[in-house]
Chain A
């Protein structure tokens, strides 16, 4: 059982921050940092599930854009907020279902399928937005986002709660066993009677659902709708998941490994900004993390 890199990296980053910028080390400030990555953390829950069955979901950006626009554009202005939230969750599930159909039934490469879905959603939303630009987010949503219990913001509590829920779900329900089996060896699982296609399909639906929740939290964090928000989130989710020890079929990190992977990301960008690393440095960091983590796992197991 390897320890996922996320724990080491997190400790190193925390130490770096503590030494160089001790003024950032109080709970309130840290709470704000962590709240900023809560949407990523929630997205990671779905990404992790999908990566454990040897697939991937890059459509989170499209889901985010679509839901963000739907809420901010006033297309649904007469509808009460709870119904909008429900509708967003339904949209996430539908997109996940479409992804799952393409990947599980039609056997399309997951990267191509979900990237194409992102392109379609992004193009569609941008087209709608050029005719009717996004406006303000409902105040109620912004207010909910700002709720705090002491130093613990509501979005962070939601993230932690969902993570715990996912951990219990995967360990108590048969679905968790299926996910483990399919990830480990799809062919053997198939011949053992594990419903491989259905497992992958459900994983994608759940990924879509989590993407919707992440989209809602992300939308609640801004005052105005935006078309540029969160385009790198799915890739960051992949990187955080890999850091957390979950990589194609292997779930060594469990659910909390990727959780710390996300925290690493929160700290990493803070450390980078405080050291004056320019914006493109973050792009390079994203790619480098994925590549190095993939090499680390590839070298360790020689299992193609």
Chain B
């Protein structure tokens, strides 16, 4: 019985506690079906998925870094920069690669600053958040411009009757699964993070893992996932907006934490993160249906983050 209890709480499992968000999702869906007229229609499900996609993608990237006992606060700004770049005047052939180049550069700066220059991950990514936001605001001071048609079609179109967001979900989650749970790189992530979490920072290093390269790669991946999320958002809104990403930094951390991934590193599962992001999208949907003011919704999301993070245990105090 004790084994079952601690297994439920995710203490002995590397995957973290993903039962809790799953149960909460089932409960929330049941509530929403019971109280709303057309919740259970394919149209609504498709809408919901499209609304949840950006957060799912960003949260996955965030999770890669959090498993390493790091954190990436610059993801929101990367999303904003992506929409700003896509709204520039230029051929899609030029703008799309530019988006990825920017993301890789940002990820590299983060990673190198953290690994080689000894900057604390939170400080590095926090400062990059402002630098990247400033660049986005330079490119696009106010929301506007127009995104290439091909991007809009990629996000809102259909292939053989299947809505694009579903395809995005399959591809993104598939790739992420391969990276995290189906590759040596993923294993190394957990090893490095597990070492940091248990207090022996060079545990992974002592086992011969090239942790510097792995950590830098993780931050590059986080920026890339954020860029993909930014492309999705750009396709949805059709224009560039420097303010679009600001909520996603904290929201992605909330989704990852809800999904059972420990912020102290080493513990977590992709399914948990996806469930966490879906749960947050459902809650947002529910709050909208309940006509809650957008401001209150923001406050509630902050409260959820506090509760979820306060429930995780950590030895370190402070930053």
Collect the chain B residues with CB atoms within 8 Å of residue A116's CB.
250, 302-303, 305-306, 309
Collect the chain B residues with CB atoms within 8 Å of residue A282's CB.
134
Q: How far is the CB of B217 from chain A (nearest CB, A)?
A: 20
In the docked arrangement, what's the CA distance between A106 and B315, Å?
10
Q: How far is the CB of A246 from chain B (nearest CB, A)?
A: 13
In the docked arrangement, what's the CA distance between A115 and B247, Å?
11
Identify which of A4-12, A20-28, A35-43, A288-296 touches chain B.
Answer: A288-296
Q: Which of A111, A119, A126, A280 contacts B302 (CB 8 A)?
A: A119
> In terms of DSSP, what is the predominant structure of the interface of chain B?
helix
Q: Cβ of A291 and Cβ of B113 under 8 Å apart?
A: yes
Interface residues on A, range: 35 or more
Q: Cβ of B135 and Cβ of A294 under 8 Å apart?
A: no
Collect the chain A residues with CB atoms within 8 Å of residue B293's CB.
127, 130
Identify which of A53-61, A152-160, A168-176, A253-261 touches chain B.
Answer: A53-61
In the docked arrangement, what's the CA distance between A92 and B70, Å?
30
Per-residue interface assignment for chain B, residues 95 to 136, with 1 indicating a CB less than 8 Å from any chain A CB and 0 otherwise: 000000000000000000100011110111011111111111
Interface residues on B, range: 35 or more
In the docked arrangement, what's the CA distance between A281 and B80, Å?
16
Collect the chain B residues with CB atoms within 8 Å of residue A112's CB.
250, 253, 263, 305, 309
Residues 271 to 304 of chain A near chain B (Cβ within 8 Å): 278-291, 294-295, 298-299, 302-304
Collect the chain A residues with CB atoms within 8 Å of residue B315's CB.
107
Q: Cβ of A280 and Cβ of B318 under 8 Å apart?
A: no
Per-residue interface assignment for chain B, residues 237 to 260, with 1 indicating a CB less than 8 Å from any chain A CB and 0 otherwise: 000000000000010010000000
In the docked arrangement, what's the CA distance between A299 and B119, Å?
9
Q: Cβ of B118 and Cβ of A302 under 8 Å apart?
A: yes
Collect the chain A residues with CB atoms within 8 Å of residue B1's CB.
none
Q: Cβ of A109 and Cβ of B126 under 8 Å apart?
A: no
Collect the chain B residues with CB atoms within 8 Å of residue A298's CB.
117-119
Per-residue interface assignment for chain A, residues 121 to 146, with 1 indicating a CB less than 8 Å from any chain B CB and 0 otherwise: 11110110010000000000000000
Q: How far is the CB of B255 from chain A (nearest CB, A)?
A: 13
Q: Which of A123, A280, A295 contacts B298 (CB 8 A)?
A: A123
Q: Which of B118, B127, B309 contacts A290 (CB 8 A)?
A: B127
Q: How far is the CB of B136 from chain A (nearest CB, A)?
A: 8
Q: How far is the CB of A132 from chain B (nearest CB, A)?
A: 13
Given A280-B134, A294-B123, A113-B297 contact (CB < 8 Å): no
Given A108-B306, A112-B305, A295-B119, A123-B314 contact (CB < 8 Å): no
Collect the chain A residues with CB atoms within 8 Å of residue B300's CB.
123
Known: A200-B318, A295-B119. 16 other contacts (CB 8 A): A107-B315, A109-B309, A111-B122, A111-B319, A113-B306, A115-B250, A120-B302, A122-B299, A127-B293, A130-B295, A248-B120, A284-B131, A290-B123, A291-B119, A294-B113, A304-B118
Interface residues of B, Cβ cutoff 8 Å to A: 71, 73, 113, 117-120, 122-124, 126-138, 141, 201, 250, 253, 263, 293, 295-303, 305-306, 309-310, 313-319
Q: Which 4 A-B pairs have the closest CB atoms?
A: A123-B299, A287-B130, A283-B134, A119-B302
Interface residues of A, Cβ cutoff 8 Å to B: 53-56, 102-104, 106-113, 115-124, 126-127, 130, 186, 196-197, 200, 235, 248, 278-291, 294-295, 298-299, 302-304
